[in-house]
Amino acid sequence: MAEVKLLRTQGLARHFDGIKAVDGVDFTLHQGEIRAIIGPNGAGKSTFVGLLSGRIKPSAGRVEFAGRDVTGLPAHKRVRMGLAYTFQITNIYKEMTVLENVAIAAQNRLRPNMLRRNPGGEAEIERLASEAARSVGLGEMLGETAGTLAYGHQRLVEVAMGLAQSPRLLILDEPTQGLSDGEIANFNAVVRKVSETATVLLIEHNMDVVMALADRITVLDQGRVLAEGTPAEITASAAVQAAYLGEPA
């Protein structure tokens, strides 16, 4: 079966005061993949996914999603097309319950005028939110205040918020940052489950997580693609060893 291109960039660039944070990146992501993006600090990873999600405007180049040029679309319109993004830093409403947090994300996925026309819209939002929370293992915590949860569970609330938007693509930016080994093992299981229904783009510094989850890896360095391939190919790459993984023993 032929691979379906879900996301593509051509010559994508973002410059800040003369600094080339992202410098002419050509990138293709296929439907159904778990793709990881790695690279040293300052490589341009978070800027790149900010460009993909519409939270940062490009200096040059284009972004295509699901066969459509979305370069000029704002983030909320990309969400409605099925492109969801979770932040590097936990971004939840800590005074609200788990279910309320996820319901807000579900509501953002639906157009407000659709909700006004549909008297049962609130029940549908609650159903979507509950399903998303249960899918990441938070079914017993729906009524708990999000800010009182352990940090690992707060990160899972964010993943559930992404899933509640019914994404075709879920972008996770440094999702295991601050997690314990046990929480990371649980997170890996969640991502594998998520990948059954959505394409996953993972920006991650933990190489054990990357090697365990990724079908393919893209390495960024100084705003450019340094290498791309399977985990085995990336591990064997002399260029990647020199720039990021460290010289082989």
2, pLDDT greater than 70: no
The answer on pLDDT for 226 being more than 70 is yes
Greater confidence (151 vs 213) lies with 213
Sequence-distant (6+) residues with CB within 8 A of 88 are 46, 173, 174, 177, 203
CA distances from 201 to 24, 25, 35, 115 (A): 19, 16, 5, 30
Residue 198, both tokens: 């959505």
pLDDT tens digits for range 110-140: 655 444 555 556 788 888 899 999 988 899 9
Tens digit of each residue's pLDDT (9 = 90 or more) over 49-61: 999 999 999 999 9
Q: In what order do the strands lie in the sheet with 199-203?
A: 83-86, 169-173, 199-203, 34-38, 216-221, 224-229
User: Does residue 8 register a pLDDT over 90?
Assistant: yes
Is the per-residue pLDDT at 83 higher than 50?
A: yes
Q: Which two tokens stand for residue 107?
A: 């509501």
Q: Is the pLDDT of residue 243 over 80?
A: no
Q: pLDDT band for 232, please (50, 70, 90 cuts).
A: very high
Please spell the DSSP secondary structure of 69-120, one letter per residue. Answer: E-TT--HHHHHHHTEEEE-SS----TTSBHHHHHHHHHHHHS-HHHHHH-TT
What CA–CA distances, in Å, run from 153 to 12, 144, 157, 175, 199? 34, 11, 6, 11, 22
pLDDT attached to residue 241: 85
Yes or no: say if 93 and 124 are a contact pair by the CB < 8 Å rule: no
Percentage of the chain with pLDDT > 90?
60
Of residues 96 and 151, more confidently modeled: 96
* Residue that the structure tokens 């040059």 belong to: 60
- Residue 89 pLDDT > 60, yes or no? no
Tokens of 190: 């969640």
Residue 1 has pLDDT above 90, yes or no: no
CA–CA gap between residue 29 and residue 58 (Å, rounded): 19
156-211 pLDDT per residue, tens:
899 899 888 889 999 998 888 888 888 888 889 989 988 998 999 999 989 999 99
Question: C-alpha angle 42/172/217, rounded to 5°?
Answer: 65
For residue 41, pLDDT beyond 60: yes
Q: Which domains does the chain have, with CATH numbers?
A: 1-78+197-249 (3.40.50.300), 83-166 (3.40.50.300)
pTM of the model: 0.87
To the nearest whole number, what is the mean pLDDT of the chain?
Answer: 88
Nearest 5°: the CA angle 95, 170, 4 is 165
* Alpha-carbon span 122 to 116, nearest angstrom: 10
Asked if pLDDT for residue 27 goes beyond 90, the answer is: yes
